């Protein structure tokens, strides 16, 4: 059963369980997709019913950060741990490499997915790069066709939220891939264009603050974080 945080149902799994579940989905027939919402995305879902449906329609809904885990605890329905998308992706690629599976990278500015692909295949020997495409296209059709032709087992869809969730819900099955994972800005990190917060910050639940200092233009989006906490408090009051 999923843990409800303001309408988004999160799977209550550890990182190991999440990766095992994803590996299982990679073996199962049909298309599946994984999403990793943070508080900001939960707030977007509350405002956009289509985004909410796309997120809750995923086969695996993982809490990207400490915010959602805190929210769930405040509501009296704790989640086991945070499972950040980028770390989940790392473990999944390790698993895919050992099984000789292929990965397609979709998203980010032109050139980024290719660079990420070069680095990832070097870091995870055995992982096959099925193809890449940047995230700034008008028509879904040719991109879906390119993925289908590539025969990729898995696709990392990195178009930002909620674009990537809507894209996976709509196009996932047509790509022919078994698993699609919505991973936001991960390709920029894999390509070495953006740094992840040093461990100190993430360990103390302050990764968002580190990112804000590095990219002050995110302030508008980040104002959703306090809003999320206010909404959790209100929901807690309602549940009493």
Distance CA 76, CA 237 (A): 11
Question: Please, are residues 40 and 228 in contact by the beta-carbon 8 Å criterion?
Answer: yes
| Closer CB to ligand UDP, 36 or 56, in the complex | 36
Going through 50-209 in order, the beta strands assigned E by DSSP cover 60-61, 102-107, 128-133, 154-158, 179-182
Nearest CB to ligand UDP, comparing residues 71 and 185: 185
Q: How far is the CB of 234 from ligand UDP (least distance, A)?
A: 25
Q: Where are the beta strands (DSSP E) in 26-169?
A: 32-35, 60-61, 102-107, 128-133, 154-158
CB of 203 to ligand UDP, least distance (A): 19
Q: Which residues pair with 32 in a beta bridge?
A: 179
Least distance to ligand UDP from the beta carbon of 126, Å?
A: 26
Q: Is 199 exposed, middle or buried (0-12, 13-18, 19+ CB in 10 A)?
A: exposed
What is the spatial distance between Cα 142 and Cα 10, in angstroms, rounded to a whole number? 32
Which residue's CB is nearer to ligand UDP, number 19 or number 166? 166
Residues at the interface with ligand UDP (CB under 6 A): 107-109, 135-136, 158-161, 163, 184-185, 187-188
Nearer CB in complex with ligand UDP: 130/157: 157
For 119-123, which contacts have Cβ atoms below 8 Å and span 24 or more sequence positions? Answer: 119/190, 119/191, 119/192, 120/93, 120/190, 123/93
Contacts of residue 87, defined as CB under 8 A and 6 or more positions apart, other chains included, come to 15
Q: Is 207 helix (H, G, I), strand (E, B) or coil?
A: helix
Please identify, using beta-carbon distances, which residue of 150 and 164 lies nearer to ligand UDP: 164
Shortest distance in whole angstroms from residue 141 CB to ligand UDP: 16
Least Å from the CB of residue 98 to ligand UDP:
27
Residue among 141, 169, 142 at smallest CA distance from 157? 169
User: How far apart are alpha carbons 170 and 73 in whole angstroms?
Assistant: 32
* Cβ at position 115, least distance to ligand UDP in Å: 12
Task: Provide the minimum distance between the beta carbon of 200 and ligand UDP in the complex, in angstroms, as a whole number.
Answer: 20
Our CB check for ligand UDP shows the closer of 71 and 107 to be 107
Residue nearest to ligand UDP (CB): 135
Closer CB to ligand UDP, 64 or 153, in the complex? 64
């Amino acid at each position: 059963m999923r843990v409800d945080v303001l309408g988004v149902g999160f799977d209550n799994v550890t990182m190991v369980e999440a990766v095992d579940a994803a590996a299982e989905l990679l073996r199962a027939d049909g298309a599946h997709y994984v999403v990793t919402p943070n508080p900001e995305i939960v707030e977007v879902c509350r405002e956009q019913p289509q985004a909410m449906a796309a997120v809750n329609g995923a086969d695996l809904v993982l809490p990207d950060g400490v915010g959602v885990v805190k929210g769930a605890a405040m509501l009296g329905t704790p989640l086991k741990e945070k499972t950040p998308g980028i770390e989940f992706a790392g473990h999944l690629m390790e698993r895919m490499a050992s099984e000789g599976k292929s990965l397609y990278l979709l998203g980010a500015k032109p050139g980024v997915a290719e660079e990420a692909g070069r680095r990832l295949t070097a870091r995870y020997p055995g992982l096959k790069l099925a193809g890449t495409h940047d995230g700034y296209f008008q028509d879904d059709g040719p991109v879906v066709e390119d993925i289908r032709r590539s025969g990729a087992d898995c696709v990392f869809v990195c178009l930002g939220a909620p674009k990537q969730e809507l894209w996976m819900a709509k196009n996932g099955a047509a790509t022919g891939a078994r698993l699609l994972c919505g991973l936001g800005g991960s390709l920029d990190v894999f390509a070495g264009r953006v740094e992840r917060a040093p461990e100190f910050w993430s360990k103390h639940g302050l990764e968002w603050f580190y990112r804000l200092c590095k990219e002050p233009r995110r302030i508008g989006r980040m104002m959703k974080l306090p809003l999320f906490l206010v909404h959790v408090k209100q929901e807690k009051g309602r549940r009493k």
